Amino acid sequence: MSFENPSTGALKADHISKAFGGLKVFNDVSFTLQPGGLLGVIGPNGAGKTTMINIISGRLRLSSGEVTLGGTRVDGRPVYENTSRGLVRSFQQTATFHGYTIEDNLLSALRFSKSDLSILERLMPLLDQFGLKANWGRNAEILPYGLQKMLGLTMALAARPKMLLLDEPAAGLEKSERDNIDTYVRFAREEFGCGVLLVEHDMELIKRLCPSIIVLDGGRLIAEGAPAEVLSYPHVINAYLGGADENEEDADAQHS
């Protein structure tokens, strides 16, 4: 799958496969995400979505195939090295430093990514809109879950990503809070020029945001295209209604 305006900064998965022993988590998956592009990834539990993000970010190694960013191979490289290249991921759970204020969490993210304070200034409109600026001096762990989640996502932007890998950013959020994800993704693309790979179960969010999606089921890429079209396919509907027995997050926990 390709997007418009081809660029040497593209994120490309080329026939990637991953197996744990004899268990294939996903097999022969390919896609291309151009800089500034947005690609949704959907599928039932066990489809291999989180494992794929772990592969791309460097947490897990491929069994076959390769992942490149701007023509440079990134699979199998350390997470910190890929982060320095601009390949940054989020987590389904909150990812903040307990015992530290919102300000300290963001400054820590800046130090880790070797960013300067100008990045923090660029993030201020987002911090203000999410209500984080109003809670600047509060420790992260005492914040409501929704604020903790948005803090963790904002910290990912502090690393100045070129490609942002979002693993179910809406998970655990109240329905009234999910518009924050729309705001976040648009801000990342418009203000930072990020490409975004969005793994998400919230189909309404996917349909609102994503011009194109891929569908994984049983480790295979079974459909790709515009959400309205893809989500009408009988085999995609069946994949969701049938579900899957394996839980990919459990597999990640055992093999990461």
Q: Give the CATH number of the domain where residue 139 resides.
A: 3.40.50.300
What pLDDT score was predicted for residue 8? 62
Q: What percentage of the chain reaches a pLDDT higher than 90?
A: 75
What pLDDT score was predicted for residue 209? 96
What pLDDT score was predicted for residue 122? 94
85, 191: one domain: yes
- Coil vs helix vs strand at 220: strand
Domain residue limits at 226: 212-248
Residue 74 inside a domain? The answer is yes
CA dihedral 22, 23, 28, 32 (to 10 degrees): -140
Q: Domains in the chain: how many in total?
A: 2
What pLDDT score was predicted for residue 242? 63
What pLDDT score was predicted for residue 1? 38
| 51 has a pLDDT exceeding 50 | yes
Residue 32 — pLDDT band, cuts 50, 70, 90?
very high
Rounded to an integer, the average pLDDT of 137-141 is 95
What pLDDT score was predicted for residue 7? 44
Distance CA 217, CA 21 (A): 19
Burial class (CB in 10 A: 0-12, 13-18, 19+), 174: exposed
Rounded to an integer, the average pLDDT of 210-230 is 94
Distance CA 141, CA 148 (A): 7
What pLDDT score was predicted for residue 24? 87
| Phi, then psi, of 67 in degrees rounded to 5 | -120, 130
Burial class (CB in 10 A: 0-12, 13-18, 19+), 159: buried
Residue 46 inside a domain? The answer is no
184, 223: one domain: no
| 6 has a pLDDT exceeding 50 | no
| 247 has a pLDDT exceeding 70 | no
Distance CA 201, CA 44 (A): 8
222, 145: one domain: no
| 110 has a pLDDT exceeding 50 | yes
- Coil vs helix vs strand at 50: helix
Q: Kindly report the average pLDDT of the chain as a whole number.
A: 88
Residue 168 inside a domain? The answer is yes
99, 164: one domain: yes
Does residue 102 contact residue 151 with C-beta atoms inside 8 Å? yes
Does residue 96 contact residue 135 with C-beta atoms inside 8 Å? no
Rounded to an integer, the average pLDDT of 183-210 is 95
133, 236: one domain: no
| Integer CA distances (angstroms), 182 to 179, 185, 205, in order | 5, 5, 8
pLDDT-wise least confident of 26-40, 86-100, 157-171: 86-100
Q: Which of the pair, 253 or 25, is modelled with greater confidence?
A: 25
What pLDDT score was predicted for residue 72? 95
Q: What share of the chain is helix, strand, coil (3-state, %, to 5)?
A: 40, 25, 35
- Coil vs helix vs strand at 171: coil
Rounded to an integer, the average pLDDT of 57-84 is 93
User: What pTM was computed for the model?
Assistant: 0.88
Residue 203 inside a domain? The answer is no
How many C-alpha atoms does 185 have within 13 Å on its Cβ side?
26
Beta strands in the chain (DSSP E): 11-20, 23-33, 38-42, 64-69, 72-73, 87-89, 163-167, 195-199, 212-217, 220-225
Number of neighbours of residue 201 by Cβ within 10 angstroms: 15
| 172 has a pLDDT exceeding 70 | yes
109, 226: one domain: no
Q: What radius of gyration do the chain's Cα atoms show?
A: 18
35, 72: one domain: yes
| 180 has a pLDDT exceeding 70 | yes
N-to-C CA span, the chain: 28
188, 164: one domain: yes
Question: Tokens 């969005």 map to which residue?
Answer: 198
